[in-house]
Structure formats: structure tokens, C-alpha cells
Chain A
Amino acid sequence: MKHLISARGLEAAPTVAILDTTMDMVDVRTREVKKLPTLRGKTVANVFFEDSTRTRLSFEAAALALSADVTTFTTQGSSVSKGESLKDTLQTLEAMGADFIVLRHPHSGVASTVVNSGWVDAHIINAGDGTHEHPTQALLDAFTMRSRLRGENARGSDLAGISVVIVGDIFHSRVARSNALLLRTLGATVTLAAPQTLLPREIDSWGAAVVSTLDEAIDLQPDVVMTLRVQKERMTSGFFPSESEFAQLWGMNDSRLRRLPPTSIVMHPGPMNRGLEISGSVADSPQSTVTEQVANGVAVRMAVLYTLMGDSR
């Protein structure tokens, strides 16, 4: 594997291997010397055309923990979001010595285009492209599920038999798309819960069941409820009538948490709208994995960089 663009192309065995490597990286991070020399002399360029402080910091921490040099390029201006400038920007960064390009972009498909176009030779890691995919998020979510639900038996295992509900704005969510694909690859069963306005059309190929409300999904007694951030602009553009109605029908709250098995977990990729898709008390409950996901994010990204490093074709 030279690039990580999409969860779609990932097969089960290499994915489990990345999750196992992530366990090793977690160990590294608990040692007194929290660094590996793997990427010494290599440069990781974080190229963010869309603001995301937490994802950028997570990749930076991962690269530094592997002893890489880190360059960061961030912009939100439209003048540099045009394609030709993207090509120029990436070629410039590569000319400055970037071996890995971690790319976040507001438009779907940009990471694929960069790989297919042959503009650069560097390893490309998709750190979120529009409403398409966010594969490292799906990996860290899978890792979090596996750790919590498999415990000591985690190493080497996939997610067979685990049932996951993904609830909320599926339509605009690259997290939901990457998760649905990766979870299926790992053998989990996925159920989506959302209003029709927030479900993409013809998603049979995702291999997920669909229910209307979160209550129907809770009735399935899932092992995992994954909530998604509702973007501010969706709240005023007619996808649902009001925030309160959304919270009522698709928000994860205390009464719904009580109806779940005590071993079930509640996830959120952050940043949260407390009181909308997830209530504050659920977010802070022991069943919530929100901060764990953030911590695992660094280890997963270390594992991804480590894995891609092994393929320098």
C-alpha cells in the first residue's frame, strides 16, 4: 500500500494488520521515550485546504512520534482551491522534499485525483475529502471498537459479529461513508439511522441496513452507536425542520443510553454539538469513547505512516 485514499479499497487482512500495528504504537506512546526513529530524515507535509485543527494536530503528533520532519500548509482561500494551484502547490511541496502528503480538501475526490493524475510521487494520505471519505477516522474508530469490545483478545481480530448503528447526517458525512465501508470489510453489521433528507440515494452497495429513527436502531441493541456531527449550515437549509426535532428523533440522550446494553459504546468523531446529536451527559458517560478516539487517532496515524513507509514503489 503506497497511498491511503479510501476505505473502499482496503481488504480485511491488511486492515487488521494496521490495527495491530496501532496497538504497538499505543505501547510506544506509553513508554518513557515516546518516539520511534522510523521516519527520521523523511518529511511529512500536512496540506489542509480546509480548517481542521484537531486532525492536523493528530497527524503532526503522529509524524513527530515517528521522528519525521513536518511541514504544514494551511489555507482556506478560494484563490488556492482551484485545481491548477492545487497541482502547483503539491508539486512545490514535493520539490521541497515532502515524502508524505497528508491532504485535507473541501472537495470530494481530490485525493484520488492527486494519485491518478501523477502530479507527484509522494505517498498521499487522504485526511478528509469533501463529503467523500476520511479513512484514518474509520481506522481509528474501528481500532476503538476493537479495543473496547474485544479487550484482551483484540490483537489479530476483526469486527465480526459486532453491530454498529451510525446515526444522523449520513448524506454529508465522509466519516459515515468510510466507516460503513470499513466496518463491512471487517465483518461488522452496520445500520444507518437518519431522515430521508440526510440519506444518500441508492446506497445498497454500502451493505448497510437503514432505519428511520434512532429509537428503531436502539431496539436492535447494537454494540456501538456512532453519532455524527451536524454541520451548522445543514440546520438552516431545509434538511430537517428544527434542531429540537432532530435531537428528539436522532439525538443520543440519556434515556436512549439506558436502553442500550451496558457494554455498548457511544462514539462521536468530534467536534460535538452537545445537546444536538449527542447530549452532554452521554458524551461524558463511561460508555462514551470520545476522548479515547482522539488518543487512538494519533496511534492509528502513526501506524498508517509506518505501513505506507514500507511500500516505496
Chain B
Amino acid sequence: MTILIRGAAVLGGKAADILIDGDTIREVGSTTAAADRVIEAHGLVALPGLVDLHSHLREPGDEGSETILSGSRAAAAGGFTTVHAMANTSPVADTAELVELVAERGMHAGYVQVRPIGAVTRNLDGAQLADIGGMAHSSAAVTVFSDDGRCVGDALLMRRALEYVSTFGGVIAQHAQDPRLTIDAVVNEGRVSSELGLRGWPSVAEESIIARDVLLAEYVGARLHVCHISTAGSVDVIRWAKKRGIAVTAEVTPHHLLLTDERALTYDPVFKVNPPLRTADDIQQLRLAVADGTIDIVATDHAPHASSTKDCTWHDASFGMVGLESALSVVQHTLVDTGHITWPDVARILSVVPAAIGRVDGYGAPLAVGSRANITLVDPAHTANWDTSRLHGRSTNSPFIGTVLPGRVVSTIFNGTETVVDGSLVEPELVRNA
């Protein structure tokens, strides 16, 4: 099977043709070759397939809100070809058997590569290390370990985890949240929490854990990845750590780049998320930090929830938002259209670097001849009111519904197989049999 993409702006630059043969990019430039299938891509930007380091696919255990298949479809619709599935499923992904099951079901679904993340501690209980070696050496070859949803709060355990994971070349992805400083916390602490009478989640609860962890990582010589940083102070700590040569990487979510805590003022639970939405100043500093490389990647923290846990009071609602389908649009809106970064940077923060952090093969040379044929074509000129028709998972808890956002994924190609054609998902049978 050969696919010819005609006239796409490669990484937002010059228009070129891209010839795919099987699962490999064969030619980039001007080609006269014939192909089994031709995609007219004039006006579209060609990006490498996107890589998400932080998704919750909910399977096993909460298939009512998402499955590996439905989450994979949401990912493909958003231009992703690889997603990392967080470990806080039920049962928790803390054994080789569990991570192998997740990886196999991802492969069977066929829309994206599903890379399981292993738990740091058994059952996420923060007490005893999970079967890290077993997961690393399993057929799923886990490289990222995280108790996400919970912080590895105990300093001694975090030290041991950093050391032990580095034995296998892996990385700890820390959910930085001091548990004691955030008891019952449900919204950013500040003017809004005081107005709403809701228990505040102070910025220092994130920043103090990051400060501790970068020092631990330096001390034991391990890699550290910090999930979803949300405050200006966290940016300062990461910047300081990088300057010092500490092997730390950091991610920010699309929603923390766009939405402020003011959204909570109506107590609409769709805006309840952890870490909470912060202030306009935090957003500005986070954007600048992506632009200057302090923040390495954007990751979605795609967190589907059944409607019953969002059609309720703020207190009873679950934390989290879906984000796979909207991530690229929000990145374009907040970072590209504002002039903070360019399309090659988008390829860096949404594909090359997340793949490097997760040690995922095939993303090192985006859209280069000989590379794996993971390609996303986006129409940056498209602008539309975001609505539920854009969502393809099982849950609709998107905070962007009703927001005008630019950009539309027109085509996604995963290992040489089209998963999205003309903006529509390809049917599961066709993807699976490819």
C-alpha cells in the first residue's frame, strides 16, 4: 500500500509531497510517483503523529466512561498516533500482566500505539513499590511510572522510586501535590475560592513537591518528569532545576494554557480538574515557559467521566476533563496563533519530545525520509465552535464545548494506516484489518 500526500506544508513550511510506502515515509519533496491512494493536502500543515504522555483510558474498571478502543478513537481524531495510558485503572496497572493486557488491547484496537504507564506503588497506596522491574521487562516494556491521581508524597519512597526506576532506564512522572496542604481542596486557592467558599488548592502545594523532587532527582542522579504543572511558581522551580543541570522534564495541559479559575464561579463541575485551573498570570507564565523550552511538552491529561459524576454538585463531581480531541486546537490557539511558538515547535512539544521522554521509537526525525509513517494533517485555517460532535470517546466532559477554537485534524496516519480520513474516523474493522 502506498499513500501520496500532495502539497502539505511540512511542519508548517514549504509545500511538499510525502510518499508513504507501507509503514515508512519513502519520499519527501516533489514526486511524480503513482500511489494507491492520494491525499490532496494543499493548505494543510503536515505534522508527525502526535504523542500523548498522559491519558486516562479507564480500561480496565471504568469502561462506562472510556475504553481502550474509545479512547484510541478519540486520540486518533485528535491527531495522535501514540498515547500513554495512566496506571490508575481498576485494578491498578501495577503488574506485568496488567500492562501487557493494556498494550495488547491497544494493539487490537489499532488506532494508536497504546503505551501503558506503570504504577510507582502497589495499588497506588504510596507505601510499597509496584512490580517495576516486572513491568519494565514485560512485553509492554514500560518506561514511564506514575501514581498520577495521587502524589508520591513520602520523600523516602520517592527517593527509592527514582533510584529503582533509573535501574531500568525509566522515568517517574510525578503528580506534584502535597497531600497535607490539599486536604479536601477542590479549586485554586485565591480570590475565587474565597468567593465561592470552596476549599483552596494552594500553588505552594505543587511547587514545594517539585522543589523537593528535583533536588532528590539531582541527588540520586535520576530522571524526573513532572506532570501537568499549573503555576507560575512551578515554572520558576523547573527553570532553576534545568539551569542547574538536573534531568527534569515538565508537561502542561491544554486546559491550563487557556482556562482560568474564574470558570468555577458558576460551580459548573465540567471545570473541576486536578490540579485546578489557575489564574491569568499563571497561564501567561506557562505559555512563556513552553516558548522558552522550560516546559518540554503539552500532554492532555485526558480524563473521561460518566455524566452522572459531572451532572451533580461541585463537591460530588469527579476531577478531570477530556482533552485528546481538542489538544492540538488549544495549542494552536494559545501558542501558535499568539506567536509564542511555530509549527516545528508543535511537532517538538506534541510528538518528538514526549516520545523521547517515554522512549517511544520512531518519532526522532519527524517527517524525514525513512521515518515511520506517523503523520497528522491539520487545517489551521479552519475555525469552529467546539461542540460534542468533535468528541469521539465515551464521555463528553470537555470544558471547551461552546468555545471557538481554530484548527481541525483532517487526516491521521498511524504506521502507514489511515485512521482519520477527511476529518472522520475510519471504522474499527478497517483499522484493525490494516
A pairs with B: yes
Other than the given A113-B312, A201-B193, 9 more pairs (CB < 8 A) read: A8-B195, A84-B312, A107-B316, A116-B268, A130-B197, A131-B198, A132-B196, A201-B189, A203-B191
| Closest Cβ–Cβ distance, residue A102 to chain B (whole Å) | 17
Proximity bits, B176-190, A CB within 8 Å = 1, else 0 = 000000000000011
Judged by a CB distance under 8 angstroms, whether A205 is at the interface is yes
Q: Mark contacts of B299-322 with chain A using CB atoms, 8 A cut-off: 1 yes-contact digit, 0 otherwise.
A: 000000000110111111100000
Are A109's CB and B190's CB within 8 A? no
**Partner of A108 from B189, B191, B198, B269 at Cβ < 8 Å:** B198
Closest CB-CB distance, B395 to chain A, in whole Å?
Answer: 16
User: Does B386 make an interface contact (CB < 8 A)?
Assistant: no
**How far in angstroms is the closest Cβ of chain A from B396?**
16
Q: Please tell me if the beta carbons of B313 and A177 are within 8 angstroms of each other in the complex.
A: no
Inter-chain contacts of A36 with B (CB < 8 A)? none
A86 within 8 A of B: yes
Which residue of chain A has the shortest Cβ distance to B190 in the bound complex? A202
Residues of A within 8 A of B196 (CB): 108-109, 132
**Pick from A86, A133, A202: contact of B313, CB under 8 Å:** A86
Q: A109 with B198: in contact, given A83-B317, A201-B190 (CB under 8 Å)? A: yes
For A107, A108, A116, A117, the residue with the greatest tally of chain B CB atoms inside 10 Å of its CB is: A108
Q: Which of B196-254 contact A (CB under 8 A)?
A: 196-198, 200
Q: A109-B267, A113-B267, A201-B189 are in contact. Are A82 and B312 (CB under 8 A)?
A: yes
Seen from chain A, the residues whose Cβ lies within 8 Å of a Cβ on chain B are 8, 81-84, 86-87, 105, 107-110, 112-113, 116-117, 129-133, 174, 177, 200-206
Number of interface residues of B (CB under 8 A): 23
Q: Are B317 and A108 in contact (CB under 8 A)?
A: no
Q: What are 28 of the A-B contact pairs (CB < 8 Å)?
A: A82-B312, A83-B309, A83-B312, A83-B313, A83-B317, A84-B308, A84-B311, A84-B312, A87-B312, A107-B314, A108-B196, A108-B197, A108-B198, A109-B313, A110-B315, A116-B266, A131-B197, A132-B197, A132-B198, A133-B197, A174-B197, A200-B193, A201-B189, A201-B194, A202-B190, A203-B191, A205-B191, A205-B195
| CA A200 to CA B316, docked complex, whole Å | 23
Chain A: minimal CB distance from B206 (Å): 16
Q: Which residue of B lies closest to A130 (CB)?
A: B197
* Chain B residues whose CB sits within 8 angstroms of the CB of A205 once the complex forms: 191, 195
Task: List B residues 293-347 near A (Cβ within 8 Å).
Answer: 308-309, 311-317
> A112 — which chain B residues lie within 8 A by C-beta?
266-267
